A and B are shown apart, each in its own frame.
Chain A
Amino acid sequence: MGEALATQQLDQMKTLLDTFKSNLEDFAVKHKKEIKRDPVFRMHFQRMCNNVGIDPLASNKGFWSDILGFGDFYYELAVQIAEVCIATRERNGGLIDLGELKREVERMRGRGAQAISEDDIVQSIKAMHPLGSGFAVVMIGNRRMVQSVPRELNVDTTKALELAEESGFISVQMLRGRLGWEEERATKLLQSMLKDGICWIDTQDHPPTYWIAGLLA
C-alpha cells in the first residue's frame, strides 16, 4: 500500500519534472535571441537552469548547445579570459580583479561583439574547470578576483588583500595597526607577495607602500 503510493508519487514527480524541462526548452527556443544578446537575461536563465539541475554548459553537444550555441560562446570566452590572464600575469602575479578582467576581455573582443557580464566570465571559468586549468574565482572581501596561477592563497594573504581592497595598497604599518600583526609577520608576508608578483612596491612613499597590481585601473 505505502510502496504503491510512493511509486505513484515518484511517477507524478517525474512527469512534473519532464513537463518543466520541456517548458524550459520551449522557453529557451522562444527567447533564444534574448539569452544570446542580453547578459542579465542570460544570467537569470542560467540560474533557473541550475535550480532544476540542468547545466546548459555540461556538454558541447546536445539540445542546449544546439539551441543556444552556449558551448561555443563560453568556450570562446574562456580562451579570451585565458589570453588576458596570461598576458597580464607578469604584471599582476596572476591575480586580477574580475571587473578589470572583463574590461580587458571586452577590449579584445572588439566593439561589435556580443555583450558579456561578469557572470558570464564566472560561468566560463567554471566551464574550464574540467580541463584542469587552475583558473579560479576567489572572494577577497566583497570583491571577486580571478586567479590564474594554481596557488593556495593563505589566510594572511587573503586578509592583507582584503585590507588593500579599500585603497589599493597596504604597508607594514597598516598590517600592524589594523590587523595587529608583529612587524616580522607583516614584512615576511609583503616580501612573499612581492616575490609572487601580486604586489608592486612604491619606495617614493615613506614608509613604502605595497600595491596590488590586480586592482589597477
Chain B
Amino acid sequence: MATSAFECPAIHSFPPFFTQQPTADTWNKQRQLWCELVLAHSQHHRVFIIDADEVVGKAAPFHNPAIRRSLPRETVVLVLEHLVSALKCGEWENKDRTRCWVFWRKPDEWASLIYKWIFDTGRTNTVCTTFEIIHGDESADESFHELPEPLLMRALDVLVKQGKAQIFNSSDGNAGVKFI
C-alpha cells in the first residue's frame, strides 16, 4: 500500500534509544518518542497489530540493523502498554500482553470514514455485509479497505451506539449491517 519509504526520526539512529533509560524524566520522554514512532510507522505501512514475540530483533522500527540495536522485548511491552493505557491508541488482544492492536486511527475515526462512504454511495437503509465493506471491490480505494475484522467491529459498535447502524449476525459468520 505504502509507496514511499518511511523516514525514521534522527533519534532512531541514536544507539541508546534502544536501551530503557534509568532516569525517570528521560524514560518518560523516550517512551513518548517510541509511541509516536510506532504510530507513525504503523500508519505508513498499514500495520494493525504488533506481536511482541515477532518484532523483537527483527522488525522495524523496533530493530535498527544499521546500528545493530534492538529494543528488548520487555521494553517493547512497556511502550505498547503506554500506547494502550495512557494514550488510548491501542488495545491488547489478550491478557498475556503479547499482541497489541495499534489504533493509528481510533475506532470512532474509522466509524466516521465508513459512515461517510455508506452515505456518499447511497447505502443507507440497505443491508450490507461486513465482507462487502472491507473486502468488496467498491471499497477498494477507501482507507478502510482490508481493515481487520475486529477493528471493523469496533468501528461498527461506535455507529450502533450513535444509532446509525444495526448489526444482524448470520450463521455463516458474515455479519449484516443496516445503516440508518
Q: Which of A163-217 contact B (CB under 8 A)?
A: 169, 194-195, 197, 200-205, 209-211, 213, 216-217
> With A211-B16, A216-B10, A217-B10 in contact, do A200 and B69 touch (Cβ < 8 Å)?
no
Q: Kindly state the separation between the CA atoms of A195 and B28 in the bound complex, as whole angstroms.
A: 13
Closest CB in chain A relative to B76 CB, distance in Å: 14
Q: B123 to chain A: which residues have CB within 8 Å?
A: none
Q: A197 to chain B: which residues have CB within 8 Å?
A: 23, 25-26
Closest CB in chain B relative to A191 CB, distance in Å: 9
Q: Kindly state the separation between the CA atoms of A201 and B33 in the bound complex, as whole angstroms.
A: 16
Closest CB in chain A relative to B37 CB, distance in Å: 13
Q: Chain A: which residue is nearest B14 at the CB level? A: A216
Question: Would you call B117 an interface residue if the criterion is a C-beta within 8 Å of the partner chain's C-beta atoms?
Answer: no
Closest CB in chain B relative to A77 CB, distance in Å: 23
Q: B23 to chain A: which residues have CB within 8 Å?
A: 194-195, 197
Number of interface residues of A (CB under 8 A): 19
Bin the interface of chain B by size. Answer: 20 to 34
Q: B33 to chain A: which residues have CB within 8 Å?
A: 91
> With A216-B10, A217-B10 in contact, do A204 and B15 touch (Cβ < 8 Å)?
yes
Q: Kindly state the separation between the CA atoms of A200 and B22 in the bound complex, as whole angstroms.
A: 9
Q: Which of B69-101 contact A (CB under 8 A)?
A: 69-70
Whether the pair A194, B28 counts as a contact (CB closer than 8 A) is no
Whether the pair B29, A202 counts as a contact (CB closer than 8 A) is no
Q: Kindly state the separation between the CA atoms of A203 and B75 in the bound complex, as whole angstroms.
A: 13
Closest CB in chain A relative to B2 CB, distance in Å: 24
Chain B residues within 8 Å of A, Cβ to Cβ: 10-11, 14-19, 21-23, 25-26, 28-30, 33, 68-70
Chain A residues within 8 Å of B, Cβ to Cβ: 90-91, 93, 169, 194-195, 197, 200-205, 209-211, 213, 216-217
If A90-B25, A201-B22, A202-B69 are given as contacts, then 10 extra A-B residue pairs at C-beta distance below 8 Å, sorted by A number, are: A91-B33, A93-B26, A197-B23, A197-B25, A200-B17, A200-B26, A201-B21, A202-B19, A205-B15, A216-B10
Task: State the 9 A-B residue pairs at the shortest beta-carbon distance, nearest first.
Answer: A200-B16, A90-B29, A202-B16, A202-B15, A203-B19, A211-B16, A217-B10, A197-B26, A91-B29
